[in-house]
Amino acid sequence: MSRRAPLLLLLLLLLLLLALAAALASCNRPPAETGSTPGQLDAGRDASGDGEADAADAGSAPPDQGARPADGPSPDGEVDEVVRLPIAGGTLLVDRFEASRPGATAASSGSSTGPARSRCCVLPWVQLTLAEAESACAAAGARLCTRAELLLACQGQQQRSFPYGFERRPGECNDYHGGTEVQPTGASPGCTTPEWVLDLVGNVAEWARPERPGDPALAAGGSYKLTALAVSLRLDSCSADEDLPGEMRREDIGFRCCHRGGE
């Protein structure tokens, strides 16, 4: 036998070992994450959104979407997107988007007075009173969010100052610093919490249900409008709100619906 034969056999054995190691590494590699926006999630899917990482670094929206418990698909077959947040003694379901009218589009807020919807990419429902906002949520099998619930959804367990973190990032939300008009829901993807609840700051302020009879009506989160009041009250953060007459109608005030598990 040639003196080179043992060397060739050793080389072949080494190549086989390297190939086997590469195959094992490929099998153990975790699958790549895929990014998705709220409007691309599968309708009707339920899960808890309990991530507290910065939303801008999350990379994809968690699958915490589903129909409202007493609602479900509307006549057009679409499902309202809600987010489930853990709270003491249960679960808070909060609409992912600012409320919109049935039939609203990206160009028109519509005219229907039916149940409030939680849909991406349509103009929000504005120019309504506090009582009308409460009725629209009730018609959808939910209720108007309270100020405490909106604050919890925006700040999270970490007590963030803004939906996305502790420091303001210019341009993330459609607030008075640069906004010029009401945008469709979800048009500012950076203005989101880690659980993908969008536009809790800016775009349109949101009516909040009074906690107790006699409490003042509040509009939370500020809007796109640059006014002296907005600047003086700093209406550009999670804690921003203003006392208003409940009968007021404004082009920059809308609302959002909530529901607590067990209600």
Domain that holds residue 241: 38-263
Tokens describing residue 51: 């991530």
Residue 30 belongs to some domain of the structure: no
Task: Give me the DSSP letters along 23-47.
Answer: HHHHHHSPPPP----GGGSPTT---
CA distance 200 to 99: 12
Residue 226 belongs to some domain of the structure: yes
Contact 238/116 with Cβ under 8 angstroms? no
Residue 23 belongs to some domain of the structure: no
Residue 61 belongs to some domain of the structure: yes
Instruction: Output the CA angle 202-192-256, nearest 5 degrees.
Output: 60
CA distance 118 to 78: 10
Residue 225 belongs to some domain of the structure: yes
| Overall residue count recorded for the chain in this entry | 263
Contact 96/232 with Cβ under 8 angstroms? no
Report the DSSP beta bridge partners of residue 205: 253
Residue 21 belongs to some domain of the structure: no
Tokens describing residue 1: 């036998």
Residue 11 belongs to some domain of the structure: no
Report the DSSP beta bridge partners of residue 90: 87
- What SS3 state is found at 62? coil
Listed residue (157, 169, 191) closest to 51, CA to CA: 157
Tens of each residue's pLDDT in the chain, 263 residues: 455 566 666 666 667 666 665 555 444 433 333 333 444 333 332 333 333 333 333 334 443 344 444 334 454 556 789 999 998 888 999 999 999 999 999 999 999 888 999 999 999 999 999 999 999 999 999 999 999 999 999 999 999 999 999 999 999 999 999 999 999 999 999 999 999 999 999 999 999 999 888 888 999 999 999 888 888 888 899 999 999 999 999 999 999 999 876 55
144: alpha, beta or left? (left if phi > 0; alpha if psi -120 to 50): beta
pTM over 0.85: no
Give the count of domains, the chain.
Answer: 1
CATH number for position 78:
3.90.1580
Residue 13 belongs to some domain of the structure: no
Tokens describing residue 119: 């849909």
